[in-house]
Structure 1
Amino acid sequence: MRCYCCGYRFAVPKSGIAGIARVPKERVVDKGETLFFIDYEEIDALSQEEAKRNLSNEDSRIVVITLLSIALHEPDRDWTEKQCLKYLKHSNDRIKYAAILSIAHIARIDRRFNKCVIPFFREYIKNPELSGRVQDAIDDICMFTDIEESIFR
């Protein structure tokens, strides 16, 4: 799936969740500047009933893909936002990151932002595992809504 704004590809690696990436031209650059290719799968739309089942699954990969799917495709945006807010509190960092990215997708697609996430973003920006991802989400939220970055500090 490509972002209609920037042309980046949104995808999840088939081999597991090493990271969810916006990958230009399906390439990833590691810290040693070496290019390598990863197999990606599209994130398809799900019915709300299927999404509800998937969100209660114990497999974090299924939960992550479902959060991204509903952020990108679910027509009931209020329900989608509630799910993202719920999973911001999850103990698994990958699921938290998917919720963070999904909130950024909602801001990009719908030009809306729920200020209830601000305390979570303020906390997670201090977490070395999440800080870069939270900052990316903040950048997207600020770009596509009328929210100022200073509100997150």
Structure 2
Amino acid sequence: MSATTLRYSKEELEVMLLSDDAAVTTDALLYLCFNIDDPGWIQLKCIEAIQNNRDEDVRGLALTCIGHVARMHKKIDNALVMPVLVEMLKYRAMSGRAQDALDDIDIFINR
């Protein structure tokens, strides 16, 4: 059963996001991105995943989710998000996804 067919509370997602299992963390990020209607909280959890997770796939997905927040909710906390996205542009493994998130912010919010 995939995470999208389940209902997770924010508390359950918080625990999942702290997991050492990248698959669990990935499921949590995807779930919160597409099923939680709290863009501020989603952004905060994505930033935490980017800053605290060592797995590049998890960090990359968190960057992508920030772009999804821009697309779906049409708002971003610039003070929280922009410094992290700009910092991630410096890392080859993260730069493409950080740029994609910046592009989504530009397309769906700034235009």
Q: How high is the TM-score relative to the length of structure 1?
A: 0.61
Larger radius of gyration: 1
CA distance in 1, matches of 2:43, 2:86: 18
Asked if 2 retains the 8 angstrom alpha-carbon contact of 1:104 and 1:138, the reply is yes
Bigger shift: residues 54-63 or 79-88:
79-88
Question: Following the alignment from structure 1 to structure 2, what is the Cα–Cα distance between the partners of residues 43 and 142?
Answer: 30
- Aligned residue identity for 1:124: M
Matching residue of 1:145: 109
Q: Retained in 2: the 8 A contact 1:85–1:117?
A: yes
Identity, in percent, stands at 27
Amino acid at match of 2:9: S
Provide structure 1 residue ranges, at least 5 long, that are not aligned to the other structure. Answer: 1-40, 148-153
Q: Give per-residue Cα distances to partners, 1:23-43, cap 9 Å, x unaligned.
A: xxxxxxxxxxxxxxxxxx965
**What is the alpha-carbon distance in structure 1 between the residues aligned to residue 61 and residue 2 of structure 2?**
15
Q: Which residue of the other structure, out of 95, 104, 109, is the alignment partner of 2:58?
A: 95
User: What's the offset of the Cα at 1:76?
Assistant: 3.0
Which is bigger in relative contact order (C-alpha 8 A, separation at least 6)?
2
Query: In the aligned structure 2, how far is the partner of 1:63 from the partner of 1:122?
Result: 23
Q: Structure 2 stretches of 5 or more lacking a match?
A: none
Query: Where is the strand percentage greater, Structure 1 or Structure 2?
Result: 1
RMSD: 2.0
Deviation per CA, 1:41-82, whole angstroms, max 9, x where unpaired?
965153323312211211012102211210111123332222
Q: Is the 8 A contact 2:39 2:75 kept in 1?
A: no
Counterpart in the other structure of 1:117: 81
Distance 1:76 1:133 in 2: 22
| Matches for 1:64-103 after TM superposition, within 5 Å | 64-90=26-52, 91-103=54-66
Given that 2:47 and 2:84 are in contact with CA atoms closer than 8 Å, whether structure 1 keeps it comes out as no
Q: TM-score, normalised by structure 2?
A: 0.81
In the TM superposition, what whole-angstrom CA distance separates every residue of 1:117-143 from its partner, at most 9, and x where no partner exists?
A: 212211211211111111111111111
